[in-house]
Structures are given as structure tokens and as C-alpha cells.
């Protein structure tokens, strides 16, 4: 038998899934917003009860069939819509209840099947396609019922709350839940504002564009048609401009174009569907959104309009992910590659270089080595005088070798081979269909064969001076086709030590596209630091934390692996952040959950930690939500930067008295408002990790944390252990 805890957990999952199913109709993630939407549907109790019956029937079906992730509400989203639609059309009685249950069960099967098929087809979301298909089926079936009585459809109440246009907007918003009343729409708009201010803007703008087009096409549209079908304009704008694309002016224009097209499809659908006594429902939303997403999915990666089908999210989160991705990994549409050499090399010619890096080959880098302002020893009359000549050349990417040449002689210094521009070369085809070219290689040095699979950093040849090369150097570019001389594609170097021509100290950069006169170097890893900052699944930390002048408390942090395969650092408050731990750095992203000053300070201090040895400096731009702000400051931030923004963080780290000392200064600059500044300090000790951490603003200490214990939870094959630090013993 179930114990009390199991029953309570099952009940919580059921209620949460129910609330989230309601919220997902308007893309809301919070369960409480879904609860508000449920309240709004009770403006018409018949509709509300029919929806609840369908949702529960769908939930029971999904539970009995053991579908995963029931708490998300996705399995019952379409079942709920089927129930709401039938409850809006007919009086709820035993006959209708049977039809609702059957429709809800069918919607669960349709949702699971279509979600899988559409994802495999082109990574497309199922949206409300199962609902539309099932709802039309059960509506046609209802026509044969002689016992059903009409409820709302086709008429809609015409209560006036505001002006006619405003009332039409709220009524249309309410009709997304088959509750066509302005008061219901007001409650739903409040929930939308809580969910996302940007989605609220899209909803209003999309309705206005769609309504204007619909009015133009229809002349003088009947208010009931707008009341029942106007939500299509709203949902299309929200989906295209805020959920499935990264927000920006391009996606906003796309959203408005989508709303206009939805109005056209709505007018056409009404003409056809009403002849057969069928409601239009969400058909215009579904048709318009699907067609545009399919078309966008055929485009190559673009910086101007980025589609997020693989990880759709609220616009604020999507914008923050994109901003952080650009800061850490380079611009969209640019391919990350590794440095094709050991040690430090200088840039002979960069992108759009004045000599040979001109369209269509403008995306290219030429490398050589400079010492004491010269690229050669003695007088440079011999190829062996040049520092880079004969040094190993490494594969910058993973892929298959498709072309090689190493029979051409190397040119004497100052001479070029104009007939064989690329000289000796290796061409590598990557999994994404692009090709990486390494050119001007040394005669007879190519050590890989056509068809061989290469891993990044695998030796392939030696640096030479063949082809159009007046002195020894290495040419690297990424191109679109297999033919030599195909147009090039933007790329950048990852995880390098970068130094500008005028800088004395190198800086660690996650991505770099250096210019002529600058230099890059492959960083050397500090393996002791790597070992100290291990974040394996089951790792646990116990800190003593003091926030401002409050009494110190004991806080717990642990590393968990979620169902999506993400590693996350989670605190005892439920707040968490995902992270990746690679050979060269530890990087956190995607902060979620409740407010937690301790986790936010930890992420500011250690959210991007390179494992490079020696004295080091680097930069990052984490989310502004990590800044310790008052409610008034947060309100200003939300008003000034509705899609969020980044903190400009400058870090330094060095070795001091048996530990690494990592400090950071974090600045958040707001337009037309005062800026916020904090500093962090973290002490990283060998084998223990971060043992002390603090955050200050000016001379005031905002938070201090001291590690008391570090340990590992037991798992199959992994023994449990723990280490109490010196501070913990005290």
C-alpha cells in the first residue's frame, strides 16, 4: 500500500501537472499562473467543469500508461483543450461527459504519437495539432447526438468593460480557453504579465495587426467571429516572436507578419468550416505557425533570426541564453574550431586581410611566429631560418579527410607559386557539412590519408611555404563546399590565451578571432586545479553562510543529474544552475528556481573558472539576475532591460600561500539609471575546491561563506566519503 509520503507526492504531481497544462496554453511555466487561468475559466462554469473533466481523464490515461514527465502537463494539454471546446459548445450532461472522456483519451494517444513523429520529421513541436484533429472528430460525432443542448457557441456574451477594441482583445484572449468574456481575458492577461512582459507586448501587437487585417478582409467583421477566433492572432505572434525564436526586431517583425497571415487563414477557414457547422478553433494558429517554422528550419544558422526549436523557452530566458552563448562561444553562425598548432603563434593576416583574404575568401587566418619583431633567425634567406617552418600542424576540428596534397615544393623566401594558390594542403569534412582547409604545408609532411577520421588536435602535417606563400606560414579557413576555393564560412578559435599587439599580459578567452599583429596560444592546464574543482554527480558541499548582518546558517549544495542529462549544482533551497566541466574550464549557466543569495554569489565568484595555469585574467557576462539588488533596483532593471542583460565581470586569479585566489569585479550598467557594482573573492584550495567565498559592495560585506565539509554520496560502484575542513573542525 502507498504510504502517506508517496500519496502526497502523487497528489502534488497531479495538481502541478493540471495547473501547468492550463498555463501551457499561453506558454506559462508557473503552476500558480495555471491556477489563475483555471479560475478565469469558471466565468462559464459549464466550460470550466468540462475542461477539468477532460484534464483529469487525460491525466489518468497518461498515468496508467506510465508516460514520463507527467508533472509538466504536456500530456494533458490537448485533452484539456478538447474538454474546454466541448464545454463551450454543449451543456454538460452524462452524454457529453462520455464524449469528453473518450476525446481526452484519444488526445493523449495523439499527443504522444504526433510529438514523436513531428520531432523526428524536422524537430517540430506538436503544438495543438492533436487537439484540432481530435476536437474536429468529436465535434462531428456530437452532431449525431440528439440529446446534446447548445451552450455558448455560436453566440458570445457582449458585456462591456472598456472600449470596444479593448474588450475585443480581452475577449479574444479569453477564447484561447473557450471563455470568450473580457473579464476572463483580463485575468489571463495578468497571468501573462506575470509570466513574461515581452509575451504580453507580442499578444497586444499581434492582435492589433491580425484584427486590422481581418477587418480589412471582412469589411465589417461580426463581433462573435472575432470573439471566438481572434485568439489565433495572439498565439501566432507569441509563438513566433517569443517562444520559437530568439527575441529581437527581426523576430518581432516575423511575429507581426505571422499574425497578418493568421488573419488571412482565419478568414479563409471561416468561409469553409462554417458551411459544415464546424468551428475554426486553433486551425489558423496551427497552420500559420507550423508552415513558418518548417520554412525557417530550412535556413542555415543565422545571426539575424535564430530559431529555438530544440530548446524553446520564454523570451526572457531565450534572450539571456543567447546573450551568454555569444559572450562565451562567439557569434551565431560562426563555427568554433581549435588552434591548429602548439605554443604561441602570431597573426600574419586576419579576416578581411588586405592581401589575399578578400571575398569570397575573407574568413581566413594566417599564422606565423614572431620573436623580437622578426619571423626568422639570422638573415631569413633560408626556409629553416623561419621559426614556424617545419613545426607540427594539428587538425582544428573533428572530421574525415577528403583531399590531401604534399608534392609541391616549398617556395624560397620572397617567392610564390601563382598556379597552385593553396599549395600543399589537407581538407577535412565535418559532420555539419562544412570543410576546414589547412594550406601552405611543407612538402612531403602530410601524415594522414584520404578517408581517415581526425580528432581535434591530431597531427596532420608540418608548416611550410608552398603555394602562394612568400614566407612560411599556416593558412586556415572553413569553406562551404569540397572544391578548393569555395566561399569561406565564419569561424573562431576556442579556449585560447589571447594577447593584443600592445598588451603585456595574455588573457584567457573562450573564443577569439584575432587580427593582424595579435597572437594566440594554446593554454596549459593546471591539473591540480582541475582536480580541486571536480563537480561529479553526488558531490556535496556544506557551507557556513553569513548574509549581511544576519546570524550564520548552514547551507547545503550538491551536484545532481536531471532527466534531460544536465549536470546541475543545486542548493537546499531548490535553486540550481546547470554547468559544463571540460578540460579547460568550469562554466555555469541557466540559473533556475527560488531566490538564493548564496547560490547567486557562488555563481558570480566561480561561474566561469578556467583551468589554465599561472597568473590569469578573463571576462564574462553572466545574467543580471545574479546581482544582489533590492526590490526597487530589480523593478528598475525590469523596466530598463525587459529582456534582461549581462553583468560585465572582470576576473583575476593567482597562486598565493598554498591556494588559488580568484577575485572578480562585477558591474551592471543600466541606461538612464545608476549602475550597480559588487566584488567577489574566492579561495580555492587543492583537493577541497572553494573553501572561502565573499561578496562585497564598497566596504560593506554582503555575504561570506566558509566550507565546512565536502563529500560524495554513495552510488552503485561509488563509495561514499566526506572530508571535514579545518573550519568545520573548529
Q: Which three cell numbers stand for residue 717?
A: 560502484
Range with lowest mean pLDDT among 270-279, 330-339, 388-397, 450-459: 270-279
Looking at the predicted structure, is the pLDDT value of residue 428 above 90?
yes
Q: What's the burial of 80, exposed, middle or buried (CB within 10 Å: 0-12/13-18/19+)? A: buried
pLDDT value for 718: 63
Please say if the pLDDT value at position 658 is more than 80. yes
Please choose, from the candidates 449, 402, 406, 405, the residue with its C-alpha nearest in 3D space to the C-alpha of residue 430. 402
Q: Where is average pLDDT lowest: 136-140, 219-223, 582-586, 588-592?
A: 219-223
Cell 507581426 belongs to 256
Check pLDDT > 80 for residue 389.
yes
pLDDT for the residue 585: 86
Please tell me the distance from the alpha carbon of residue 328 to that of residue 306, in angstroms, as a whole number.
Answer: 17
Return left, alpha or beta for 193; rule: phi > 0 is left, psi -120 to 50 is alpha, else beta: alpha
| Closest to 477 measured CA to CA, from 418, 413, 422 | 422
Q: Which residue, among 660, 712, 662, has the nearest Cα to 685 in the 3D structure?
A: 660
Q: Is 396 helix (H, G, I), strand (E, B) or coil?
A: coil
pLDDT for the residue numbered 730: 43
pLDDT at residue 581, as a whole number: 83
The pLDDT of 97-102, averaged and rounded, is 93
pLDDT score recorded for residue 356: 78
* For range 97-115, the mean pLDDT: 90
516 φ/ψ sector (left φ>0, alpha ψ -120 to 50, else beta): beta
| Cα separation, 534 vs 520, whole angstroms | 27
Burial class of 384 by CB neighbour count within 10 A (0 to 12, 13 to 18, 19+): exposed
Grid coordinates given for 539: 558531490
Closest CA to 326 of 646, 566, 664, 669: 646
Cα separation, 165 vs 182, in Å, equals 11
Spatial CA neighbour of 573 closest among 558, 551, 561, 584: 558
Directed axis angle between helix 249-273 and helix 283-296, to 10°?
140
588 phi/psi in degrees, rounded to 5: -105, 155
- Higher pLDDT among residues 114 and 10, named by residue: 114
By three-state DSSP, how is residue 372 classified? coil
pLDDT at 339 over 90: yes
Q: What is the pTM of this model?
A: 0.77
Distance CA(80)–CA(59), nearest Å, equals 10
Report the C-alpha gap between 255 and 549 in whole angstroms. 49
> Which three three-digit cell numbers place residue 434?
562544412
* Omega cis (within 30) before 360: yes
Q: Which residues is 203 bridged to in the sheet?
A: none
Cell of 22: 492550463
Q: Which residues are within 8 A (CB) of 265 and not within 5 positions of it... i.e. 6 or more apart? A: 232, 283, 284, 287, 288
The C-alpha cell 497578418 sits at 260
The pLDDT assigned to 3 comes to: 65
Q: What is the pLDDT of residues 460-483, one digit of tens each?
A: 999 999 999 999 999 999 998 899
Within a 10 A sphere around the Cβ of 697, how many other Cβ atoms? Answer: 14
Instruction: Report the alpha-carbon distance of residue 524 to residue 80 in Å, rounded.
Output: 56
Give the pLDDT band of residue 715 (cuts 50, 70, 90): low
What is the C-alpha radius of gyration for the chain, rounded to an integer number of angstroms? 31
pLDDT value at residue 114:
87
Domain at 335-521, CATH class? mainly beta
Task: Please compute the mean of the pLDDT values over residues 633-661 and round it to a whole number.
Answer: 86
Nearest of 536, 589, 585 to residue 558 by alpha carbon: 536
Between these two residues, 562 and 608, which has the higher pLDDT value? 608
User: CA–CA separation, 440 vs 443, rounded Å?
Assistant: 9
Which pLDDT tens digit goes with each residue over 135-189? 888 888 877 777 788 887 656 666 788 888 999 999 999 999 999 999 999 999 9
| 220-237: pLDDT as tens digits | 777 777 888 899 999 999
Over 90: is that where the pLDDT of 694 sits?
yes
Asked if residue 1 has pLDDT above 50, the reply is: no
Give the mean model confidence (pLDDT) for residues 244-273.
91
* Domain 11-158, architecture per CATH: Orthogonal Bundle (1.10)
DSSP string across 628-683: ---HHHHHHHHHH-TT--B-EEEEEEEEETTEEEEEEEEEE--TTS--EEEEEEEE
> Distance between CA 171 and CA 175 in Å, rounded?
6
Q: Give the CA angle between residues 618, 624, 627 to the nearest 5°.
A: 90
pLDDT at residue 501 above 70? no
Mean pLDDT confidence for 341-345: 92
Under a CB-based contact definition with an 8 Å cutoff, are residues 453 and 462 in contact?
Answer: no
Res 519 pLDDT > 50: yes
Is residue 673 pLDDT above 70, yes or no?
Answer: no
Q: What is the pLDDT of residues 57-90, one digit of tens each?
A: 998 888 888 776 555 566 788 899 999 999 988 8
For the beta carbon of residue 528, count every other beta carbon within 10 angstroms.
Answer: 15
Q: How confident is the model at residue 271 (pLDDT cuts 50, 70, 90)?
A: confident
| C-alpha separations of 404 from 337, 341, 429, 445, 531 in Å | 20, 18, 12, 11, 40
Highest mean pLDDT: which range of 118-132, 450-464, 487-501, 703-717: 450-464
Run of H or E residues at 138: helix 129-142
Task: Please indicate whether residue 222 or residue 121 has the higher confidence score (pLDDT).
Answer: 121
Asked if pLDDT for residue 729 goes beyond 50, the answer is: no
Q: What is the pLDDT of residue 70?
A: 57
Least confident of 265-274, 333-342, 618-627, 667-676: 667-676
Q: How far is CA 553 from CA 550, 686, 706, 712, 727, in A?
A: 9, 25, 11, 22, 14
In sequence order, what E strands does 486-584 have? 488-489, 491-499, 507-512, 519-521, 539-547, 553-561, 567-571, 576-581
Element (H, E) at 478: strand 474-479
The answer, yes or no, to whether residue 302 has pLDDT greater than 60, is no
Task: Say how many CA atoms lie within 13 Å of 480 toward its Cβ.
Answer: 13
Phi, psi of 18 (to 5 degrees): -65, -50
Q: What is the average pLDDT across 325-353? A: 84
Question: For residue range 17-38, what is the model confidence (pLDDT) as tens digits?
Answer: 788 889 989 998 888 999 999 9
Lowest mean pLDDT across 39-53, 118-132, 293-307, 442-456 = 293-307
Instruction: Report yes or no: 180 and 171 within 8 Å, Cβ to Cβ.
Output: yes
Q: Where are the alpha helices (DSSP H) in 175-296?
A: 182-195, 197-218, 223-229, 231-238, 249-273, 283-296
Give the other-Cβ count within 10 Å of 553's Cβ. 12
Decide which of 217 and 415 is more confident. 415
Angle between helix axes 129-142 and 74-89 (nearest 10 degrees) is 30
Amino acid at each position: 500500500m502507498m504510504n502517506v509520503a508517496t500519496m502526497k507526492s502523487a497528489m502534488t504531481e497531479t495538481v502541478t501537472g493540471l495547473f501547468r497544462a492550463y498555463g501551457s496554453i499561453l506558454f506559462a511555466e508557473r503552476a500558480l499562473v495555471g491556477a489563475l487561468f483555471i479560475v478565469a475559466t469558471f466565468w462559464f462554469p459549464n466550460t470550466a467543469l468540462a475542461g477539468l473533466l477532460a484534464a483529469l481523464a487525460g491525466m489518468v490515461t497518461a498515468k496508467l500508461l506510465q508516460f514520463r514527465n507527467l508533472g509538466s502537463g504536456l500530456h494533458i494539454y490537448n485533452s484539456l483543450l478538447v474538454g474546454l471546446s466541448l464545454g463551450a459548445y454543449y451543456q454538460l450532461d452524462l452524454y457529453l461527459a462520455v464524449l469528453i472522456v473518450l476525446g481526452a483519451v484519444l488526445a493523449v494517444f495523439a499527443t504522444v504519437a504526433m510529438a514523436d513523429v513531428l520531432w523526428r520529421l524536422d524537430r517540430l513541436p506538436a503544438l495543438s495539432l492533436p487537439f484540432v484533429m481530435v476536437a474536429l472528430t468529436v465535434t462531428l460525432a456530437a452532431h449525431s447526438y440528439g440529446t446534446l443542448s447548445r451552450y455558448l457557441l455560436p453566440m458570445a456574451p457582449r458585456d462591456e468593460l472598456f472600449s470596444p477594441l479593448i474588450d475585443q482583445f480581452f475577449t479574444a484572449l479569453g477564447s484561447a480557453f473557450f471563455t470568450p468574456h473580457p473579464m476572463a481575458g483580463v485575468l489571463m492577461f495578468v497571468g501573462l504579465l506575470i509570466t513574461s512582459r515581452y509575451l504580453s507586448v507580442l499578444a497586444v501587437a499581434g492582435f492589433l495587426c491580425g484584427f486590422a487585417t481581418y477587418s480589412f478582409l471582412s469589411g465589417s467583421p461580426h463581433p462573435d467571429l472575432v470573439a471566438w477566433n481572434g485568439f489565433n492572432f495572439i498565439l501566432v505572434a507569441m509563438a513566433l516572436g517569443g517562444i520559437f525564436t530568439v527575441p529581437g526586431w527581426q523576430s518581432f517583425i516575423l511575429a507581426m507578419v505571422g499574425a497578418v497571415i493568421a488573419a488571412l487563414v482565419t478568414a479563409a477557414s471561416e468561409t469553409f468550416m462554417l458551411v459544415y457547422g464546424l468551428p475554426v478553433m486553433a486551425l489558423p494558429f496551427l497552420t500559420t505557425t507550423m508552415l513558418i517554422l518548417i520554412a525557417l528550419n530550412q535556413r542555415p544558422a543565422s545571426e539575424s533570426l535564430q530559431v529555438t526549436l530544440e530548446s524553446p523557452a520564454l523570451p526572457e530566458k531565450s534572450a539571456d541564453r543567447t546573450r551568454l552563448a555569444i559572450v562565451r562561444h562567439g557569434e551565431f553562425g560562426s563555427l568554433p574550431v581549435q588552434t591548429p598548432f602548439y605554443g604561441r603563434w602570431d597573426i600574419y593576416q586576419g579576416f578581411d586581410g588586405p592581401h589575399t583574404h578578400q571575398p569570397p575568401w575573407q574568413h581566413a587566418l594566417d599564422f606565423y611566429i614572431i620573436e623580437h619583431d622578426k619571423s626568422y633567425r639570422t638573415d631569413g634567406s633560408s626556409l629553416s631560418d623561419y621559426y614556424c617552418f617545419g613545426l607540427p600542424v594539428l587538425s582544428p576540428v573533428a572530421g574525415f579527410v577528403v583531399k590531401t596534397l604534399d608534392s609541391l615544393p616549398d617556395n624560397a623566401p620572397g617567392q610564390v607559386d601563382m598556379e597552385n594558390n593553396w599549395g600543399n594542403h589537407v581538407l577535412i569534412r565535418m559532420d555539419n557539412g562544412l570543410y576546414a582547409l589547412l594550406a601552405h604545408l611543407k612538402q612531403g609532411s602530410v601524415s594522414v590519408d584520404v578517408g581517415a577520421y581526425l580528432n581535434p588536435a591530431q597531427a596532420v602535417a608540418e608548416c611550410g611555404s608552398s603555394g602562394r606563400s612568400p614566407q612560411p606560414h599556416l593558412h586556415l579557413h572553413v569553406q562551404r563546399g569540397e572544391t578548393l576555393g569555395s566561399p569561406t564560412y565564419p569561424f573562431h578559435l576556442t579556449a585560447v590565451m589571447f594577447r593584443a599587439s600592445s598588451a603585456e599580459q595574455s588573457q584567457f578567452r573562450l573564443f577569439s578571432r584575432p587580427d593582424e599583429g595579435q597572437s594566440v596560444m594554446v593554454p596549459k592546464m593546471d591539473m591540480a586545479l582541475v582536480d580541486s574543482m571536480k563537480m561529479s554527480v553526488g558531490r556535496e558541499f556544506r557551507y557556513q553562510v553569513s548574509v549581511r548582518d544576519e546570524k550564520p546558517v548552514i547551507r547545503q549544495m550538491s551536484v545532481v543529474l536531471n532527466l534531460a542529462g544536465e549536470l546541475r549544482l543545486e542548493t537546499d533551497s531548490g535553486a540550481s544552475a546547470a554547468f559544463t566541466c571540460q578540460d579547460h574550464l568550469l562554466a555555469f549557466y541557466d540559473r533556475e528556481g527560488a531566490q538564493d543569495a548564496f547560490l547567486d554569489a557562488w555563481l558570480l565568484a566561480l561561474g566561469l573558472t578556467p583551468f589554465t595555469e599561472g597568473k590569469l585574467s578573463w571576462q564574462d557576462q553572466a545574467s543580471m539576475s545574479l546581482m544582489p539588488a533590492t526590490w526597487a533596483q530589480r523593478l528598475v532593471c525590469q523596466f530598463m532591460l525587459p529582456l534582461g542583460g549581462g553583468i560585465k565581470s572582470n576576473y583575476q586569479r593567482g597562486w598565493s600561500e598554498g591556494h588559488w585566489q580568484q577575485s572578480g569585479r562585477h558591474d551592471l550598467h543600466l541606461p538612464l539609471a545608476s549602475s550597480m557594482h559588487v566584488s567577489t573573492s574566492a579561495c580555492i584550495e587543492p583537493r577541497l575546491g572553494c573553501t572561502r567565498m565573499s561578496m562585497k559592495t564598497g566596504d560593506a560585506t554582503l555575504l561570506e561563506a566558509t566550507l565546512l565539509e565536502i563529500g560524495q554520496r554513495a552510488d552503485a560502484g561509488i563509495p561514499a566519503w566526506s572530508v571535514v575542513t579545518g573550519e568545520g573542525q573548529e
